[in-house]
């Protein structure tokens, strides 16, 4: 059983309508039957983007692998829809009888599980592996996280950020913490995904911003700490048309200068592909909010167009090059990156700094700010005041 996710028909439906999607899907199925499968093989529809290919007789898993690779080559070729050249983004999952399952329904389910795993692989082909069922627990966890967002059960933890040039604390990053008995810190990406599933994105962002700014106000009034607060947001939240309004409203509620709020934006590719996201970035800049690039996976080519956007800061995760301090080539890359970023008139925040020796070295190289567990792990707002008020 080969389960194929074309990664195309849904996008065609959205751009050109369902009739166009139906036509392309029929064309794809016909091409697979004629150019990939054997006369006795079968291809059938499962959904808008999914096709199931049944190969009744296969002499070993290697032949199934070859069939999947042939499928990918066929689907990856350009197609024309009117005058538009379009490309699929296919993934193929393979389940073999009886090794993967001994019944038709189970075989299909496990081929789908393999297809989900294949989407995250460079080859875009995967055989069913029993370890893939761990995705089920992730689905359950997402449901529990969604309930926690709906019931407003997430809290904030603060991690200090230090100005390397002056040796003093200059801000905090607000992180989500979920006291559910299973884990503590929650990634913003996971929280946003769960919120999207339940239509709760606006509620989550509003709650997060108001909590962060309220605590920032408390730090100033109760502890004399006039710090900026950084909030990490995946770039797709910029597609929410209410984002700028939510930010402006929260700043007004807590009577804070816009410059005290730093929004750290990840997954920056969204800015390149969505005009709405670029509009929101410019709107946030007009409000006076500070903007930081926080995307360790952004390619160098992105810097050319990111340089035109109104960011003030770039975060660099040193854990990506864990040996940078002892490898001259790696340190040279870091030094060159610092110089480039400073020429773009951006500050640099280094995260995952290991110890005081690394902190001293990045200061020598010209790094501006630092955020590191050895200087202060994420703690509750009350613990933060106790630790840093003096």
DSSP string, 275-340: HHHHHHHHHHHHHT-EEEE--TT--TTHHHHHTTS---EEEEEGGGGTTTTT-HHHHHHHHHHHHH
Under 8 Å between Cβ of 82 and 24: no
| Beta strands in 24-97, from DSSP E residues, in sequence order | 42-45, 50-54, 79-81, 84-86, 91-94
- What tokens does 145 get? 């996280």
Lowest mean pLDDT among 53-57, 178-182, 315-319: 178-182
Mean pLDDT (whole number) for 68-78: 86
Under 8 Å between Cβ of 89 and 121: no
What pLDDT does 158 receive? 93
Mean pLDDT of the chain: 86
Helix (H), strand (E) at residue 343? helix 328-343
Say how far apart CA 346 and CA 4 lie, in whole Å: 44
Residue 137 has pLDDT above 70, yes or no: no
The confidence band for 301, taking pLDDT boundaries of 50, 70 and 90, is: low
Phi, psi (5° rounding) for residue 81? Answer: -125, 100
pLDDT in tens, 232-263: 998 889 988 899 999 999 999 999 999 999 99
| Secondary structure, 3-state, 199-226 | CCHHHHHHHHHHHHHHHHHHHHHHHCCC
**Which of the given ranges, 58-72, 147-161, 225-239, has the highest pLDDT on average?**
225-239
What pLDDT does 357 receive? 92
Say how far apart CA 225 and CA 385 lie, in whole Å: 9
DSSP summary character for residue 65: H
What pLDDT does 179 receive? 66
Helix (H), strand (E) at residue 375? none
Mean pLDDT (whole number) for 120-133: 75
What are the angstrom distances between the C-alpha of 161 and each of 174, 296, 333, 351?
Answer: 11, 18, 23, 9
Mean pLDDT (whole number) for 149-172: 89
What pLDDT does 130 receive? 66
Residue whose C-alpha is closest to residue 310's, from 325, 343, 332, 288? 288
What pLDDT does 300 receive? 61
Mean pLDDT (whole number) for 374-383: 90
Residue 144 has pLDDT above 80, yes or no: no
Residue 182 has pLDDT above 60, yes or no: no
Say how far apart CA 43 and CA 30 lie, in whole Å: 9
What pLDDT does 369 receive? 96
Lowest mean pLDDT among 142-151, 225-234, 276-285: 142-151
Helix (H), strand (E) at residue 362? helix 356-365
Say how far apart CA 283 and CA 270 lie, in whole Å: 16
pTM of the model: 0.64
Say how far apart CA 369 and CA 227 lie, in whole Å: 13
Under 8 Å between Cβ of 116 and 94: no
């Amino acid at each position: 059983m080969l389960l194929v996710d074309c990664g195309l028909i849904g996008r065609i439906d959205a751009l050109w309508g369902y009739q166009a999607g139906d036509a392309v899907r029929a064309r794809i199925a016909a091409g697979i039957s004629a150019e990939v499968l054997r006369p006795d093989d079968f291809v059938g529809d499962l959904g808008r983007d999914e096709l199931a290919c049944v190969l009744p007789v296969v002499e070993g898993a290697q032949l199934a692998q070859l069939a999947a690779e042939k499928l990918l080559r066929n689907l990856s070729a350009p197609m024309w829809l009117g005058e538009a050249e379009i490309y699929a983004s296919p993934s193929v999952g393979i389940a073999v009888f009886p090794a993967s399952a001994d019944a038709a329904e189970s075989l299909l389910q496990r081929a789908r599980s393999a297809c989900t795993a294949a989407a995250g692989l460079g080859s875009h082909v995967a055989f069913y592996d029993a370890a893939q069922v761990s995705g089920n627990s992730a689905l359950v966890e997402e449901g529990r996280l969604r309930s926690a967002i709906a019931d407003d059960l997430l809290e904030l933890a603060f991690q200090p950020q230090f100005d390397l040039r002056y040796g003093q604390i200059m801000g905090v990053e607000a992180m989500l913490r979920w006291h559910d008995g299973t884990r503590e810190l929650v990634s913003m990406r996971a929280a946003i995904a769960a919120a999207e599933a339940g239509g709760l994105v606006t509620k989550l962002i509003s709650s997060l911003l108001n909590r962060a700014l309220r605590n920032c106000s408390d730090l100033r009034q109760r502890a004399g700490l006039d710090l900026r607060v950084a909030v990490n947001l995946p770039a797709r939240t910029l597609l929410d048309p209410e984002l700028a309004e939510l930010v402006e409203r929260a700043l007004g509620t807590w009577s804070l200068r816009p410059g005290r709020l730093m929004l750290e934006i990840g997954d920056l590719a969204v800015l390149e592909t969505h005009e709405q996201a670029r509009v929101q970035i410019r709107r946030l800049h007009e409000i006076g909010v500070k903007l930081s690039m926080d995307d360790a996976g952004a390619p160098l080519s992105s810097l050319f167009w990111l340089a035109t956007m109104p960011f003030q800061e770039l975060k660099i995760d040193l854990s990506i090059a864990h040996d940078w301090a002892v490898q001259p080539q790696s340190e040279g890359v870091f030094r060159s990156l610092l110089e480039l970023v400073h020429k773009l008139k951006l500050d640099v925040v280094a995260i995952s700094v290991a110890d005081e020796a690394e902190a001293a070295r990045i200061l020598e190289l010209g790094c501006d700010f630092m955020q590191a567990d050895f200087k202060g792990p994420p703690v509750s707002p009350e613990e933060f005041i106790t630790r840093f008020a003096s």
